[in-house]
Homo-oligomer: A and B are copies of this chain.
Amino acid sequence: MTVILLTSIAGYGHTMPKDKDPIKIALVLQPISGSRSGPEMSQGPQLMYEGLKKMMADMRIEEAVKEIVKLTPEEEKDYGAWHRVGMANGHLNETVARQSKKGMFPLGLLSNCNSLIGMLAGMQHSGSTRRPLSVGLIWLDAHADFNTPETTLSGMLGGMPVAVAAGKCLYRLRLKGGLEPAIPEKNIIMMCVRDMDPLEEELVLNSHITLISTEEMVKLNRRMKVEFESLCDRVDVVYIHIDLDVLDAPDIPGHTFQVPDGPNPAQLGKALKYMMENPKVGALGVASFPIQEEVRDKSLGSTLEVIKGGLLGLQAR
């Protein structure tokens, strides 16, 4: 179950490392959406998985592990969409922590951004002792997802996960996912966020969160690099979270919440490659794949191009 890495990939100038073990990738699928307006189980993770599997084969990277997050039969009987998301995050936490402790790199294929809590919790508990690690978050999304119940217009949990992770609201949901302590605002960098509700923006601006614009990220400019490296220096491990709507709207057709003025897949892939080269990055998550059949090829192509950047960064360590 070794991972054979590609020698060279056009556009990134990557060369295979000779003298160290290839990084093993644990693919973790989290299909539980917590949705009440659609099916509770999203097809997105499976669709991304199939494309990714093929790409990894083309890249001659074997998947080390594939794991799908599920509720237990007892939990399945429990009432409440938010509660079920909490329990699903608990399992995601356990899976990610376990794989990470085994030396694998967890790559989360996530129904939506509610899985943030589980991914962060998994990183937090991936250390060698009972003591939680200090975790940094790179948030790549067109939205800040920093609403709280008091600010939300929609009531959608999907607009709140960063606020939850930062301890601003819904602490029971955070604890169900196993995330304690919350992520300090100073350990959160948001990139390419370009659509915030007014009350949400007030919260973000009253926090210690760092905002990096699309332009800064695309240019890999000095501030972007300093903030990123500085975060890596001061935490134990970094988790990179991508909501696919971070991409420029035409590049991710079918996404419910697409927003213009995002990076294109090549730009995002390049930035991701840069960041993933840093060994402090301990996991990557990709969320919210748009499943509409008519635009699926385009979206999948974009998604894979982004992930490829990340994998190349990983190889370049």
> Could you tell me which A residues sit within 8 Å of B by CB distance?
36-37, 74, 78-83, 130-132, 134, 148-157, 167, 169-172, 175, 180-182, 184-187, 198-199, 201-202, 204-206, 208
Contact = CB atoms under 8 A, between A and B. Distances in A.
B154 A80 contact: yes
Q: List 8 tightest A-B contacts by C-beta distance, closest first.
A: A80-B153, A184-B205, A149-B149, A36-B37, A82-B155, A181-B202, A83-B153, A80-B154
B202 A182 contact: yes
Contact of A82 (B132, B152, B171): B152
Given A82-B152, A132-B198, A184-B201, 7 more contacts: A36-B155, A37-B37, A83-B154, A134-B198, A149-B149, A185-B205, A205-B208
Contacts of A154: 36, 79-83
Contact of A199 (B37, B181, B186, B198): B181
Contacts of A171: 150
Q: For the complex formed by this chain, how many copies does it contain in all?
A: 6
A132, A155, A175, A182 pick with most chain B CB within 10 angstroms: A155
Interface residues of chain A: helix, strand, loop or mixed (majority): loop
Contacts of A204: 184
A143 B303 CA distance: 45
B152 A181 contact: no
A155 B153 CA distance: 14
Contacts of A206: 184-186, 208
A155 B81 contact: yes
Contacts of A199: 172, 180-181
11 contacts: A36-B37, A79-B153, A81-B155, A134-B201, A149-B149, A149-B169, A149-B170, A184-B202, A185-B205, A185-B206, A205-B208
A181 B180 CA distance: 19
A155 B155 CA distance: 8
A171 B169 CA distance: 15
A60 B155 CA distance: 44
Nearest to A38: B37
Contact of A131 (B36, B150, B175, B198): B198
